[in-house]
Chains A and B, each alone.
Chain A
Amino acid sequence: MAQKDTLTGAEILLKALVDQGVEVLFGYPGGAVLPIYDELFKQNRLRHVLVRHEQAAVHAAEGYARSTGKVGCVLVTSGPGATNTITGLADALCDSIPVVCLTGQVPTHLIGNDAFQEADITGITRPCTKHNYLVKDTNQLARTVHEAFHVARSGRPGPVVIDLPKDVTQGPGEYQPPSRVKPKYKPQVKGDIRAIEQAVEIIANAKRPVFYVGGGVVNSGPAACQLLTQFVRMTGFPITLTLMGLGAFPASDPLFLGMLGMHGTYEANLAMHGCDVMINIGARFDDRVTGRLNAFAPESTKIHIDIDPSSINKNVAVDLSIVGDAAHVLEDLIKVWKARQCRADERALKAWWSRIEEWRAQDCLHYESSNKVIKPQYAIQRLYQLTRDRNPYICTEVGQHQMWAAQHFRFDRPNHWMTSGGLGTMGYGLPAAMGVQVAHPEALVIDIAGESSIQMNIQEMATLCQYRLPVKVFILNNQYMGMVRQWQELIHGGRYSESHMDSHPDFVKLADAFGAVGLRATKPGEVDDVIKEMLAVDRPVIVDMRTDASENCFPMIMPGMAHNEMVLGPEDRAMEKPGSEDDGMVLV
């Protein structure tokens, strides 16, 4: 038992979490973490959400983090509990989401002995975390927790694992408050002012500019998004956002060209291709965005603002780089722009916009509507129209439905769009939505799903029911792994190898079995009613939208092709010459 000034490791841990502002843990118990669960039982400052699978705990923490700007927190046991978190950790690393994951470990004297439920978690998670720790001394526990939260949230955010041997959480030790811990890790947040002045110079002289903005601005926070919006409007330049950046700039603003990249809009991709100045803020030149690298924005001067120096000159060599936090750099950009009374080149900009308007007139997101089958795009558009006044939080799984959601749902604010971009994790959306709903109990939270993805973490329906989290699962049920089927149709000669599942659960009955509400629409005429009913229910709902099984997601830049070679629709001839996969986008 602990003496006067000492606490047990478990007590220290919970105290440190509270001091770090943690309100909720997503977790699952087991032998190695029983001392921590015992301590949780005795207190009521920290809430625990009992998930049904540890992967879901991490995605829930991601949803919580992305929708609040705080660090998400996970607690799991050793061995299988910890290994089950790997996909979630890798996902959070790819998308720069701040998460702290506490894993139980066998007692220190058993480490390395192949003890029961022992796994080398610091070893396994090294490449899929921003950093990790193995705590070997209870006196180091508080310091480690404080440092872990600092690392998770500072600079480019990411997941951090703290491995906690059972004896460390049981043993006595001393607590240290956050104020006593000086962090060694100090990323650069202020941009170099000379580079910022140079950037202003380039921006002011641009003739065919475009802002290419990504998740980094969302990471930086709502203030950064405000400053971005202010600066873009001051210049009158067009702006496109990555999948991860959606919401950083209001979609309803006419300066917004839509998403760019593989399934981006015609106008966004052509603006990227034809620009003479590209201003990248918090985006990482992902291969889904650039297309074939040697044909990427060939005539442009590129400015790149990013907090992580390793994002700069990684895939694309840039002309001017500014390392720093988006909000800080944007603030300075605006200051310098105003101080120098800069003006955009109105004539050039007018000519540029008139070309962009021509591209826009293509109406690239147009689809053949139908009054017989539900077109997936139609379902999303209706969902958007019927929910927009409630400012919903939208999560997605991975596949065509994700891309249609990105294209047809429009976001005017940041932190309302949760999707797995970098890892592309099927099964992300439902638990992420759970985390969002925990953080925002009153809000409307929807997971736009595919019938295949949803089955990867469907067990979390039980968690939703247990905690009365009224998440709406909106399945675009096309009976296929649609995105895989699309690639097979377009690239693999229509050989639909293993992309069809002959047996799916009856989602309406399944909802019922979990204690949720199940709804179904099979015809376009039923879509509105089903959505309205879904909104009227104050419980978890699964909607089974039976959509057109053969619909493909366009526009599309085929693998190895460039921005100006996009395929607009099924009739487009450009589709018949997919390029080499070596140079560009490869995987589904």
Chain B
Amino acid sequence: MIKAVEEINRHTIAVLVDNEAGVLARVIGLFSGRGYNIESLTVAEVDPRNSLSRITIVTSGTRMIIEQIKNQLRRLVPVHKVSDLTLEGPQVSRELALVKVAGGGDKRVEALRIADVFRARAVDTTNESFVFEVVGATEKVDAFIKLMEPLGLVEVSRTGVAAIARGSNPL
């Protein structure tokens, strides 16, 4: 009841985990089992020597829910560190999208012009299509895709968010 009136905010959470079988399933199972939502999730090994992977999760919830999510993540045995990048000061957050646009004539020209504005690169070109690579904050990628819609958008592949805190300190 009290929860309903509380503000819901989006948070980017970085999780350092042992790169072992099942660890991603544990994290995803935690979110689905407890009814938290995942807006974006990315994972890759970042420290091969110590066999550590970094999972970046974008989620949203009330203050209490976000607190729960972090504490629940910390309970998982293979989790080393959980850091709320949204709370811990300025951060850089990026994702990459590959955007396929097909068509000809004016629309083709317009697509190229917009790609230029967004500093998107054409990484594949045929007579009737482009694949653009666009990198940026989620909002920028969203905006680019939206602009491509009327210009013959056929397919999108996105990486999800990778994020890191600004400044010299590690996670």
Contacts and interface: CB of A to CB of B under 8 A. Distances in A.
Chain A bound to chain B? yes
Interface of A: 122-123, 126-127, 130-132, 134, 151, 156, 184-185, 293-294, 308-310, 312-314, 317, 583
B2 A294 contact: yes
Contacts, number: 42
A583 B94 CA distance: 40
A310 B64 contact: no
B25 A310 contact: no
Interface residues of B, number: 18
Contacts of A126: 22, 25-26, 29
Nearest to B26: A126
Contacts of B25: 123, 126
Q: Max chain A CB contacts within 10 Å: which of B21, B33, B72, B77?
A: B77
Interface in B1-37: 1-2, 18, 21-22, 25-26, 29, 33
Interface string B112-139: 0000000000000000000000000000
A313 B67 contact: yes
B158 interface: no
A126 B76 CA distance: 11
Q: Max chain A CB contacts within 10 Å: which of B21, B67, B75, B76?
A: B75
B71 A310 contact: yes
Given A293-B2, A313-B64, A127 B77 contact: no
Nearest to B72: A310
A71 to B, nearest CB: 16
Contacts of A151: 77
B74 interface: yes
A310 B30 CA distance: 13
Contact of B22 (A122, A185, A309, A313): A122
Closest 6 CB pairs of A and B: A310-B71, A309-B71, A131-B77, A294-B1, A310-B72, A127-B33
15 contacts: A123-B25, A126-B29, A127-B33, A130-B77, A131-B77, A132-B22, A134-B21, A185-B77, A293-B1, A294-B1, A308-B71, A309-B74, A310-B75, A313-B67, A313-B68
Interface of B: 1-2, 18, 21-22, 25-26, 29, 33, 64, 67-68, 71-72, 74-77
A488 to B, nearest CB: 27
Given A126-B22, A151-B77, A313-B68, 18 more contacts: A122-B22, A123-B22, A123-B25, A126-B26, A127-B29, A132-B22, A134-B22, A156-B75, A184-B18, A293-B1, A293-B2, A294-B1, A308-B75, A309-B71, A309-B75, A310-B71, A310-B75, A313-B67
Nearest to A155: B75
A184 B51 CA distance: 14
Nearest to A160: B77
Contacts of B72: 310
A348 to B, nearest CB: 29
A127 B22 CA distance: 12
Given A126-B29, A127-B33, A583 B75 contact: no
A324 to B, nearest CB: 15
